[in-house]
Structure 1
């Protein structure tokens, strides 16, 4: 019953609904005691030849009235109890979603998307069952069982009641043993379902890659193997679960045999009437449901316990980045000063960045270049406070970025990552995602700034074109330009382009950069790129290699330095010349 203690906060919150619902359940339980009693009285009246027409009509009226009241009561207790468990499901899903939205990228490296989806669906549904069907079976088994047993003992015969209950301790013991085993197997079953969920999500997201490489059959075979593992674990659960009903049926059968045998004996002795024995047997029939409910309850509780353990583990994950006490909720504006001593990713030993020191004046442009894996994107993530655990300082307008709220800092930044994510909605809604109230004129203005307006007008539905999941219907360059437009439409104080122009041609890139320079004269920009033409105009360019700054300066200064930057610049010039079909003899 640990989970009911864990969910105490919810039952306290919904106490009114549960109190009324359980009270109605108790009323219906009492009404269920009426038919067996009337049946016994009727049988005895018939056997004594004392049943009159008025008595028969009266009994029939009472039965009809009890049935109507029970019908109305069942409707309302279902609305109250099952309505409450839906509110629990909503609260848990909202709490989980809010928690996930606060997690750092490192968290999502450790938990795969499919696994998180399984927590939000399958696990929460299992917990919901505890607050709905579990409460029903718990209260109904206790209320029905106790009232029926009390009625049998008080109104018929306490001796026969004790005899009928003799096998019950065996049921309690058997349920306890099976329940402990069910908890472990349910935990394994939920974990396997998470793996299958993740496999499904990953396969559907990567279906184009799978088809390109002709790996459909291999992917289907892998899916088949995982489904067999899920089925195997659930079959083990079903085998244990299947033992509840036979165990209860055997115990109930023994109770009936004892009741009939000793009931007949007491009738022969004259201490009971035939009508009382019939009523007793009918009361015993009413005990079948509480016994079965007891088995169902163990099933629901153990499944809920396993799911609650999994959900709690997720919710107990600490936030890596959160607001410091006294953090100010304002949009920073000013110079950016990096004085980073060392940063190492969680669970790794080798540092990713070391001795990163530079200053970017407000309104200036910083270019970041270097080999793949040198640490360029990591530097940008630290600036956006995706990680806070590092030695050194990062200042924005002379204040550590931790002095600003996370929301305030990030609202001042327009970030365009390497892997652009577009939502499954229209082009217009994707561009004005940060501010859905912006006018069409604003949307078109920023689209023209990033040279994507003409592309959009050629779409079938223009700005009302639905781009598909993750922008699947668009080219790489179109996705990049839409992502830049989405960042620019908020007119951010700091614009960060993380290799966000790699899929556009050189002429389009030049046009976009020129537009940014003209329209963002008082705003700060950081451009991380592999193509050096993207950063030629920057006020400061830093070259990062193995997590350290190895060169710095303007484009002209770095070319004159004749280091890595100069060599890469010459190579890229040569590549452009060859691609353009020009004469390479004078390339040097």
Structure 2
């Protein structure tokens, strides 16, 4: 019953619907008492030769009216209870989705996608059942069962009723034990399902890699292991679940046995009539469903309890970043980094340290360095995917970025990450993702700036081409350029290209950068890259190594220093020249 207390807020919110549903169930329970009484009276009048055609007609009409009224009332309670429980599912789904979208990056690093999906599907369905089928089961058990037992005692014999109820305490005790075991087993089964769900999602998303490395057999074996674990854990739950019906059947059978034995003796002694005994056994048959419902109730409630705890656990997790703010405005001006040290949560080793530089408004800054040098970390901190310990480590327009409402802060950035994500929809919708309503000419212009327009027009369906999940039908360079077009469409105050040109050739890279230089005058651009050619025209170049800045300046200044930047640039120029020579030789041979 603990889960009902936790869902009290919902029952209060929808109390009108539930009151109507419960009243309807009560009316059904009262009306269903009538048929056994009619049958018993008919039998008694038949045995005494008092049954007339007129009385039989009246009895049949009453039975027909009971059936019609019951039909209507059953429709009403289903709409009131089951229909209302659907609202709970909607509320919980909205709550979880909003929770997911509000959480910081650390939340998703610690939780697998399959597990989060299981919370939003199976767990919500289990809790929703508690507010629908669970309410029905407990209401039917108490209302119908109570009404039938009282009627048996009042209209037939209270002594026979007490005798028939002797086995019931054993059933209550056993179903309570089953329920406790069921809750533990179901929680383990849900966790196993989450792992299987995650494995399926990963396998489908990474099918290209799996096939490339010939890993299909091993991947199938891994899937089978997880699937077998899900089956095994659910089988344990099913074994416990399967105990409910036999237990209730035995209890009902024992009640029937006691009723017939002692009821027959009472008929022979004249304490009750034969018709009353038949009425009593009919009522006893009506108790089968309430008792079964009681067993099902324990089943449903324990499943809901385990699932609600899993959902509640997600809800109690803090965001990871402070969402309080001073300014509900979009920031403008220079961006200053003044970070003494920072390490990601769970990592005690410093990821970056001694970072001090300013990005003047309207300038282009390039950030270069080896893989793992800390380039992307700076970007993630600027976007507030993580927060540093000190409030003033990063300022925008003279104020700490934490002082701005996070939605207003991020609205200033057009971000193209290293891992490009495209939705399984059309190219037009992917590019226009950030805008609720956008004209085709704006889509085309952003695509031309990112040098992807001609590629798109070469497709049969053009901008209406569906790219498939994660852009599976596009090349790496095409996905990067579509992502750049998406960012350019909003004409952001600050454009961030986080190694977003790594998959395009040198000629395309040069064309895109020229377009940006021409069309983003007065706007700030931040470009991280491995290739020096992508940032050689930047107003300021930051060179990072092992989490700190080792060189800074523009291209000419850094070349004069003849340090890491100079050596890397010269090496890349030589490599590019060798590649061009090889291409020319290949074309000559052809």
TM-score, shorter chain, exceeding 0.5: yes
1:81 aligned partner: 81
CA contact (8 A) 1:342 1:351 kept: yes
Is residue 182 from structure 1 mapped to residue 182 from structure 2 by the alignment?
A: yes
1:322 Cα deviation after fit:
4.1
Are 1:576 and 2:576 matched, yes or no? yes
What is aligned with 2:329? 330
The Cα offsets for residues 22-80 of structure 1, whole Å up to 9 and x where unpaired, read as 11111111111111111111111111111112111111111110100000111111111
Cα distance per residue 1:522-567 (max 9 Å; x no partner):
1001000000111111111111111111111111111111111111
In 1, Cα distance between equivalents of 2:18 and 2:581: 79
Which range moves more in the overlay, 45-54 or 178-187?
45-54
Q: What's 2:18 paired with?
A: 18
Alpha carbons of structure 1 residues 554 and 271: separation in structure 2 relative to 1, 3 Å: same
Give the alignment's TM-score, normalised by structure 2.
0.97
Q: Residue 436 of structure 1: CA displacement?
A: 3.5
Q: Which runs of 4+ in 1 moved over 3 A?
A: none
Aligned match of 1:448? 448
Q: Kindly tell me: are residues 323 and 264 of structure 1, through their superposed partners in 2, closer, same or farther at Cα, counting changes over 3 Å?
A: same
1:242 CA displacement: 0.8
CA distance in 1, matches of 2:133, 2:550: 65
Partners of 2:302 and 2:3 in 1: CA distance: 9
**2:235 match:** 235
| Runs of 5+ consecutive residues of structure 1 not aligned to the other structure | 584-588
Q: Is contact 2:421-2:470 (8 Å) kept?
A: yes
Task: Tell me which residue corresponds to 1:434.
Answer: 434
> C-alpha distance in 2, partners of 1:382/1:148?
67
Which residue of structure 1 aligns with residue 348 of structure 2? 349
CA contact (8 A) 2:381 2:388 kept: no
Q: Which residue is 2:48 aligned to?
A: 48
**1:126 shift after superposition:** 0.7
Aligned-partner Cα distance in 1 for 2:495–2:28: 66
Q: Which residue of 2 aligns with 1:269?
A: 269
Q: Do residues 144 (structure 1) and 144 (structure 2) align?
A: yes
3-state SS in 2 of match to 1:372: coil
Counterpart for residue 64 of structure 1? 64
Instruction: Provide structure 2 residue ranges, at least 5 long, that are not aligned to the other structure.
Output: 584-590
- Within 1, Cα distance between the matches of 2:388 and 2:563? 33
SS at match of 2:543: strand
The question of whether the paired residues in 1 share the 8 Å contact of 2:434 and 2:490 is answered with: yes
**What's the CA shift for 1:321?**
2.4
CA distance in 2, matches of 1:219, 1:520: 47
Alignment of 1:478 with 2:468, yes or no, is: no
Distance of 1:517 and 1:436 partners within structure 2: 27
Alignment of 1:545 onto 2:532: no
Distance across 1 between alignment mates of 2:437 and 2:243: 60
d(CA) in 1 for partners of 2:375, 2:510: 22
* Separation in 2, partners of 1:438, 1:322: 33
Q: How far is 1:582 from its partner?
A: 8.0
Q: How many residues align?
A: 582
Match of 1:278 in 2: 278
Q: Is the 8 A contact 2:495 2:525 kept in 1?
A: yes
Deviation at 1:323, TM superposition (A): 2.5
Match of 1:586 in 2: none
The residue number in structure 2 matching 1:359 is: 358
SS in 2 for 1:261: helix
- The alpha-carbon deviation at position 328 of structure 1 amounts to 2.1
Partner of 1:528: 528
Does residue 298 of structure 2 align to residue 298 of structure 1?
yes
Shift of 1:426: 1.2
* Alignment partner, residue 222 of structure 2: 222
State the alpha-carbon separation in 1 of the partners of residues 180 and 148 from structure 2. Answer: 29
User: SS at 1:270's partner residue?
Assistant: coil
